């Protein structure tokens, strides 16, 4: 299916950059052979991940707690009995997870190609290299640091188009009994909730247990455990190890069966998903247009990467939304990619609360609703679009 012409999801821009804005066709596809759901065309990595990358992981308090518990799990379950373990994290961003390994005194290394977020990690004393991960880098790491006990990645693996180069690099880097743990938005959740906004330039793959098992199986790695996560609107944590080195949890077998009963292996499921996306787009546009006709003020909440797909696919612009509020300084004062809605600091939302707030950061709903009780109490209403378009009165 095609979502049409799309800009870089995190390509927040100034007015003078509008004329030269880059677009590509956002068109995902499903392969019934390897069961992968992926983009057909992806912009060059350097267009997306660079020294002014706009997303800093530590902007959410709930995500900080999530990564602390991820690190605790690795230390308590996978470091047990190991002498001087070494952990490598791919796409370590501002060090939100690795800081816990550093604080506990473990050997650690982050690989983060976006220089600005990597600098934040380095300033916190977290060992970080700004490079793209591949087999060549894996060879260098092994020569300089030895093999890793655990390789971690959170919301990163689905961003790397050359999955074979990364899988080969991980197979090279981990010890014979080492593990790979990674988590990403889960295909089963995206299909069930019509959360099509998970699809954008950075997310070249939306994984399932079946597609992960197939892709990493090509490199001698086997899925040994799976752990569903509530983060990012429904994610899956995958644990892999060298084939035969660890027992396979019954949770893997159960999830593979569940995916078949959900029809994730069938092309018809994706044909229905396309119809669901179209219905969601029409409903959101109609809702925003009716509010516009009534003269209501609508503000977007969270200038997320995901919202780039929503605004561009649904044709939402400054006529529908006055501004998008976001706490990230690098996004403020800029325009949203493609749709060119001004992004303003959160203080503007507080100063002049709108009639309606369109919850672009729906994956952080629990944290945001808790924080925004005054907005609700003052008569403000939330608009959501996942799993269904509607107003929360």
Q: Which residues sit at the interface with ligand DWN, rule CB under 6 A?
A: 55, 59-60, 155, 202, 232, 302-306, 326-328, 346, 361, 363-364, 367-368, 371
Nearer to ligand DWN, 96 or 171 (CB): 96
User: Which of 24, 51, 10, 56 is closest to 305 using CA atoms?
Assistant: 10
- Can you give the length of the chain in residues? 393
Nearest CA-CA partner of 301 in 312, 291, 314, 310: 310
Taking the C-alpha atoms of residue 4 and residue 340, their distance in angstroms, rounded to an integer, is 17
Q: Smaller CB distance to ligand DWN: residue 149 or 372? A: 372
Smaller CB separation from ligand DWN, 60 or 208: 60
- Shortest distance in whole angstroms from residue 209 CB to ligand DWN: 19
Q: Considering the complex, what minimum distance in angstroms separates the CB of residue 330 from ligand DWN?
A: 9
Give the other-Cβ count within 10 Å of 14's Cβ: 9
Nearer Cβ to ligand DWN (168/368):
368
For residue 117, the minimal CB distance to ligand DWN (Å) is 11
Say how far apart CA 40 and CA 220 lie, in whole Å: 26
Residue nearest to ligand DWN as judged by C-beta position: 302
Q: How far is the CB of 267 from ligand DWN (least distance, A)?
A: 26
- Rank residues 60 and 311 by Cβ distance to ligand DWN and give the closer one: 60
What distances in angstroms separate CA 168 from CA 51, 152, 165, 219, one per listed residue?
A: 27, 15, 5, 6
State which residue, 59 or 269, has the beta carbon closest to ligand DWN: 59
Q: Work out how close the CB of 314 gets to ligand DWN at its nearest, in angstroms, rounded to a whole number.
A: 16
Q: Of 85 and 185, which has the nearer Cβ to ligand DWN? A: 185
Q: Is 13 helix (H, G, I), strand (E, B) or coil?
A: strand
* Nearest distance, CB of residue 271 and ligand DWN, angstroms: 26
Q: Are 189 and 262 in contact (CB under 8 A)?
A: no
Of 219, 257, 211, 282, give the one whose Cα is nearest residue 29. 211
CB burial of residue 370 (10 Å; 0-12, 13-18, 19+):
exposed
HEC profile of 67-107: HHHHHHHHHHHHCCCCCCCEEEEECCCCCCCHHHHHHCCCE
CB of 52 to ligand DWN, least distance (A): 14
Euclidean distance between CA atoms 132 and 323, whole angstroms: 35
Answer whether 288's CB lies under 8 Å from 263's CB. no
The span from the CA of 115 to the CA of 121, in Å, is 10
Q: How far apart are CA 192 and CA 388, in angstroms?
A: 11
CA–chain centroid gap for 107, Å, is: 26
CB of 321 to ligand DWN, least distance (A): 14
Smallest distance, Å, CB 191 to ligand DWN? 18
Distance CA 288, CA 276 (A): 18
Which residues is 241 bridged to in the sheet?
A: 179, 222
Nearer CB in complex with ligand DWN: 106/312: 312
Beta carbon nearer to ligand DWN, 55 or 106:
55
We find the least distance from the C-beta atom of residue 344 to ligand DWN, in angstroms, to be 10
**Residue number with CB closer to ligand DWN (89 or 326):** 326
Please identify, using beta-carbon distances, which residue of 117 and 168 lies nearer to ligand DWN: 117
Q: How far is the CB of 206 from ligand DWN (least distance, A)?
A: 11
Which residues are bridge partners to 89 per DSSP?
A: 110, 152
List beta partners, residue 324: 300, 343
């Amino acid at each position: 299916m095609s979502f049409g012409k799309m800009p870089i999801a995190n390509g927040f821009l100034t007015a003078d950059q509008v004329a030269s804005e880059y677009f590509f066709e956002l068109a995902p596809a499903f392969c019934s052979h390897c069961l992968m759901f992926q983009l057909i065309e992806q912009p060059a990595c350097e267009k997306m991940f660079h020294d002014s990358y706009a997303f800093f992981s530590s902007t959410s308090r709930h995500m900080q707690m999530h990564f602390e518990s991820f690190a605790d799990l690795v230390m308590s379950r996978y470091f047990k009995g190991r002498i001087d373990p070494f952990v490598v994290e791919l796409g370590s961003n501002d060090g939100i997870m690795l800081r816990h390994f550093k604080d506990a005194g473990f050997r650690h290394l982050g690989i983060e190609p976006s220089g600005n977020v990597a600098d934040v990690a380095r300033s916190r004393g977290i060992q970080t290299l700004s490079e793209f991960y591949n087999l060549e880098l894996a060879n260098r790491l092994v020569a300089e640091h030895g093999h890793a006990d655990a390789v971690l990645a959170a919301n990163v693996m689905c961003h790397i188009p050359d999955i074979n180069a990364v899988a080969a690099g991980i197979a090279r880097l981990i010890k014979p009994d080492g593990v790979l743990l990674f988590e990403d938005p889960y295909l089963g959740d995206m299909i069930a909730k019509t959360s099509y906004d998970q699809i954008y330039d950075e997310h070249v793959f939306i994984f399932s247990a079946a597609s992960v098992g197939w892709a990493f199986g090509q490199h001698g790695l086997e899925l040994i455990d799976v752990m569903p996560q509530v983060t990012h609107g429904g994610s899956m944590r995958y644990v892999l190890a060298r084939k035969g080195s660890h027992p396979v949890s019954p949770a893997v077998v159960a999830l593979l069966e569940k995916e078949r009963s959900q029809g994730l292996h069938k092309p018809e499921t994706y044909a229905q998903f396309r119809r669901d996306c179209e219905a969601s787009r029409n409903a959101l546009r109609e809702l925003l247009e009716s509010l516009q006709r009534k003269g209501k003020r609508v503000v977007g909440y969270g200038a997320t990467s995901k919202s780039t797909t929503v605004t561009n696919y649904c044709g939402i612009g400054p006529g529908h939304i006055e501004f998008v509020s976001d706490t990230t300084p690098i996004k403020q004062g800029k325009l949203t990619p493609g749709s060119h809605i001004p992004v303003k600091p959160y203080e503007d939302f507080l100063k002049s609360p709108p009639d309606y707030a369109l919850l672009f950061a729906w994956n952080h709903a629990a944290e945001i609703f808790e924080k925004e009780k005054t907005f609700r109490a003052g008569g403000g209403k939330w608009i959501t679009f996942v799993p269904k378009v509607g107003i929360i009165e």
